[in-house]
Structure 1
Amino acid sequence: DRPKGRRVTKNRWVFDVKTDGRKKARLVAKGYSQIEGLDYDQVFSPVVRFETVRLILALAALEGMHISGLDVRNAYLYGKLDEEIYMEQPEGFKVKGQEHRVLRLLRALYGLKQAGLAWWRTLNESLKELGFTRLVSDAGIFIYKTKDGRFVLVIVYVDDALFCGKDKALVAKLKNRFMKKWECRDLGDVKEFLRMRITRKGDEIHLDQTAYLETVLQRCGMQNAKSVPTPLPAGYKPEPHTGPVDPALRSRYQTVIGSLLYIMLGTRPDICFAVTKLAQQAANPSQDHLDKALYICRYLVGTKFYALVYSGKSGQGVSACTDSDWANDPEIRRSQSGYFMKLANGVFSWLSRRQKTVALSSTEAEYMSLSDCSRQVVWVKMLLKEIDYLLGALPICSDNQGAIFIGSNPVTERRSKHIDIRYHYIRELIEEKQVELFYISTDENPADLFTKNLGRVKFLKFRGMLGLRFYESS
């Protein structure tokens, strides 16, 4: 019977059609009615980072790793609940004559605030029992090591998992042991992960989101739009809208920008600057901002069959490029930082963002960008070290000699003595030989793509240096 003084959680059915055509029905709890401290306490559960997935895929292309995938069926239902939670009987399954009675949940259900954490704890213990160790650098990666130096990596994102390793037999063995513990759907050689299509052609791995991109274009009504060569018109700078907020316009704008953000974060670094700049206007967009967001869609119409390509035969190791655009923001005069990292001749990590403080010179802006990039480089080194790849000093390229000089020498000059101490972190990395700075001319620096709105010629030149290539699978 319904307990007195206890909140009863409602539920609903959610229906979906998967990318492979399967139809799915799922009972979801309405977790928004839960009360913190009574129905749940902690809710955070880690997931693997996008850039980590791309890094492992690039490494797999270089090392010739075998990659196999699986999907845990109804994963959240395995998570055990510590709290006392009651739920109404689901629609279509109510017991006749006992509709007033409720269900006591012993296991997590999709929609509950703590469901993700409950499943994560269960999964973590399960993998530990199988001999896997969770990486410190990314809690979504687990590694199994043998005494003779072989290893298998498991990439986990909620209920999706990839098993990667050079030894195909060992990968299959560990995967089968995992599948005996949980009810899983064996996906075989990986074809898709996080809505990213993964295609292997010889020693190359192609990564694209063509199917999701077509869905976004249809949602925005842009599938038949005329294509354009660049994400934004040359020289365009968005200006803040000071008029009253239009709720309908804002809702549509945020829908478009949110969809573009997912594409950008997944496989399309070429739209990173454009999407980042327009996302800053999401609180109060104007019609002009919406038109420019749809302009990005027009660019994607003509490039929807582009993929990130990681080439094993390239033999290219980890490298980074960084750049900044001084006083890029016309309102608050802050600069724009941008950098990317490459492995196997394809980018796996990129960033474009407004700097947190005002830089008083272009050299200072470049120095701040160098320092931001160096922190990412150190994280990549730590992650690779955990899977037994020991690297020397990683190269970072910059197009500003002054910034390289300040980073390489402990100088305190009149024009640089005020720089925040946090940005001098790069000096320590150089002394410890974790990174090494190199000069690259502005005309040859692809990181320029992440800091400003380039014209067609430069944009197309730098886009080709990122590892993006036209590709349409059969």
Structure 2
Amino acid sequence: MKASVDVKTAFLYGKLDEEIYMDQPEGFHQKGQERKVFRLRRAIYGLKQAARAWWQELEKSVRKMGFTRLHSDSGIFIHRGQEGVVNMVAYVDDIIFFGLKVLADQKKLEFMRRWECRDLGTPTKFLSMSIQYDGDTIQLDQTAYLEKVLERFGMGNAKPARTPMVEGYYPLKHTGPNNAVLTRKFQLVIGSLLHLMLGTCPDIAYAVTKLAQHCANPTEEHLAKVFYIMRYLAGTQKYKLVYEGRKGLGQGLESYTDSDYAQDPTHRLSQTGNLVLLASGAISWKSYTQKSIATSSTEAEYMALFDCSKQVLWLRILLKELGIPMQVPTPIYVDNQGAIFNASNLVQERRTKHIDVRYHKIQEYVEEGQVVLYYIPTTENPADIFTKPLGRVKFELFRKSLGLIFQ
């Protein structure tokens, strides 16, 4: 059972430790004391301390309700009692309860007695994401938000593109004068695209993150390319991120990693792409430029593998705290035999001695049985979608592997 509430004027509940004063509000002046100011006892909207003060009050309150905050995620709380378990997810003032119906209802009502809330019932929206339930299957999308974004930027009737970025394209840094109007428009579009990418659109991760690197000084070409991403989104509005419930959970975590060696034409930095699946859908994805120059494709893959293993380890800890421990090592699929050998071999070779010691942490994860490494051909590795702009056929194949299904 799932239940959700929204805390009204949440930031006004936060208590302040600091001395903060404000002018008397218009219409509330004390006669004869107009020159005096108010000292704030509680936070108000606009204070930089308001969010933290509210969170401290929220955490104290739910602890009194018997909840314990997870070590792996400060926004998730769990209540374990003789009758069962209730999980609570909090994002600022949006709260969701998960558990047996009777228990979840009890905790929701207890929470609502402590704060003035709107009872939203079974959650169908969360952080601009639409949630649909079909038996054990859960479907997520941001269609309503996407429609507003397309309309806002005049792309409501745009001709759809088949991929978010043209195959082989690489945005180059602009060193000329800055166009303030163009820059502002570019940043607004990128901000909206980032929200979609982080929510339910992992398929645009490479294109968005690569173009977002040019927010400080974009060109007309860069702006045209972000609108090209919107053309792609205009044609994929009916795609949803689908999770297959108990059937998919039985498979446990599954992860993929890849890199594109020396992709950056200026600094010769490589591009990393990581993907983690659970219940047949993507729950974690990442596309970023590596911070140091790899001297070979194997080294670039090894660095990407280490980064993926860190995310896998965190997810294993999170699931264990939620009462869903992974009983077997999590598979990580990588398309480089050399990287697999280096990660599985505790004896350093001459060719790998120069690699930063932190990347060798992957060897410890393998030895402990936290992860197990498998080779996968490049043509079958869905993490490739996060390392470069692909052609339509390959892109659509890997998009389906993310759990993005046309509905």
- Spell out, residue by residue over 1:418-463, the C-alpha distance to the aligned partner (whole angstroms, 9 max, x if none): 1111100000001100100011111110000000110011000100
What residue in structure 1 maps to residue 220 of structure 2?
Answer: 287
Q: Which of 216, 232, 247 does residue 299 from structure 1 map onto?
A: 232
Provide the secondary structure at the position in 1 that maps to 2:41.
Answer: strand
What residue in structure 2 maps to residue 130 of structure 1?
Answer: 65
What residue in structure 2 maps to residue 256 of structure 1?
Answer: 189
What residue in structure 2 maps to residue 273 of structure 1?
Answer: 206
Q: Which of 166, 177, 181 does residue 114 from structure 2 map onto?
A: 181
Distance 2:285 2:9 in 1: 33
What residue in structure 1 maps to residue 350 of structure 2?
Answer: 414
Q: Which of 141, 145, 156 does residue 212 from structure 1 map onto?
A: 145
State the AA in 1 paired with 2:344.
S
1:433 aligns with 2:366: no
Provide the secondary structure at the position in 2 that maps to 1:303.
Answer: coil
What residue in structure 2 maps to residue 202 of structure 1?
Answer: 135
Provide the secondary structure at the position in 2 that maps to 1:71.
Answer: strand
Deviation at 1:93, TM superposition (A): 5.7
Unaligned runs of 5+ in 2: none
1:83 aligns with 2:18: yes
Deviation at 1:204, TM superposition (A): 1.0
What residue in structure 1 maps to residue 88 of structure 2?
Answer: 154
State the AA in 1 paired with 2:210.
K
Aligned length: 404
- Spell out, residue by residue over 1:89-135, the C-alpha distance to the aligned partner (whole angstroms, 9 max, x if none): 44566678876554332211111011111111111110110000011
Q: Which of 373, 384, 401 does residue 465 from structure 1 map onto?
A: 401
Provide the secondary structure at the position in 1 that maps to 2:332.
Answer: strand
Provide the secondary structure at the position in 2 that maps to 1:396.
Answer: strand
- Spell out, residue by residue over 1:268-308, the C-alpha distance to the aligned partner (whole angstroms, 9 max, x if none): 00000000100111111111000001100110100122211
Q: Aligned runs of 1:392-407 on 2, under 5 Å?
A: 392-407=328-343
TM-score of the two chains, using structure 1 as the length reference:
0.83
Distance 1:351 1:92, change over 3 A: farther
What residue in structure 1 maps to residue 281 of structure 2?
Answer: 346
Distance 1:100 1:379, change over 3 A: same
- Spell out, residue by residue over 1:34-74, the C-alpha distance to the aligned partner (whole angstroms, 9 max, x if none): xxxxxxxxxxxxxxxxxxxxxxxxxxxxxxxx221100111
Distance 1:305 1:100 in 2: 59
State the AA in 2 paired with 1:222.
M
Deviation at 1:414, TM superposition (A): 2.9
Q: Which of 148, 151, 167 does residue 234 from structure 1 map onto?
A: 167
What residue in structure 1 maps to residue 314 of structure 2?
Answer: 379
What residue in structure 2 maps to residue 9 of structure 1?
Answer: none
What residue in structure 2 maps to residue 168 of structure 1?
Answer: 101
Identity of aligned residues (%): 58
What residue in structure 2 maps to residue 16 of structure 1?
Answer: none
Provide the secondary structure at the position in 2 that maps to 1:316.
Answer: coil
| Contact 2:273–2:386 (CA under 8 A) maintained in structure 1 | yes
| Contact 2:332–2:374 (CA under 8 A) maintained in structure 1 | yes
Provide the secondary structure at the position in 1 that maps to 2:222.
Answer: helix
Provide the secondary structure at the position in 2 that maps to 1:425.
Answer: helix
Distance 1:111 1:414 in 2: 57
Could you tell which deviates more after superposition, 91-100 or 101-110? 91-100
Deviation at 1:168, TM superposition (A): 1.2
Distance 2:162 2:25 in 1: 51
Distance 1:206 1:136 in 2: 28
Unaligned runs of 5+ in 1: 1-65
Distance 2:330 2:403 in 1: 19
Deviation at 1:323, TM superposition (A): 0.4
Deviation at 1:151, TM superposition (A): 1.1
Deviation at 1:87, TM superposition (A): 2.2
State the AA in 1 paired with 2:384.
D
State the AA in 2 paired with 1:446.
P
Deviation at 1:469, TM superposition (A): 1.3
Provide the secondary structure at the position in 2 that maps to 1:406.
Answer: helix
Distance 1:254 1:186 in 2: 36
State the AA in 2 paired with 1:450.
F
Provide the secondary structure at the position in 2 that maps to 1:76.
Answer: helix
Deviation at 1:147, TM superposition (A): 3.4
State the AA in 1 paired with 2:343.
G
Distance 1:199 1:462 in 2: 24
Q: Which of 101, 109, 119 does residue 44 from structure 2 map onto?
A: 109
State the AA in 2 paired with 1:262.
H
| Contact 2:252–2:330 (CA under 8 A) maintained in structure 1 | no
Provide the secondary structure at the position in 1 that maps to 2:177.
Answer: coil
Distance 1:168 1:341 in 2: 30
| Contact 2:79–2:86 (CA under 8 A) maintained in structure 1 | yes
Deviation at 1:86, TM superposition (A): 2.2
Distance 1:236 1:81 in 2: 51
What residue in structure 2 maps to residue 5 of structure 1?
Answer: none
Distance 1:92 1:310 in 2: 54
Distance 1:288 1:73, change over 3 A: same
Provide the secondary structure at the position in 1 that maps to 2:132.
Answer: strand
- Spell out, residue by residue over 1:201-246, the C-alpha distance to the aligned partner (whole angstroms, 9 max, x if none): 2211111111111111122211111110000111111011121111
| Contact 2:313–2:370 (CA under 8 A) maintained in structure 1 | yes
What residue in structure 2 maps to residue 22 of structure 1?
Answer: none
- Spell out, residue by residue over 1:348-396, the C-alpha distance to the aligned partner (whole angstroms, 9 max, x if none): 1000000111011111110110000000011011111212222121110
Distance 2:54 2:62 in 1: 12
What residue in structure 2 maps to residue 444 of structure 1?
Answer: 380
State the AA in 1 paired with 2:95.
A
Distance 2:101 2:278 in 1: 23
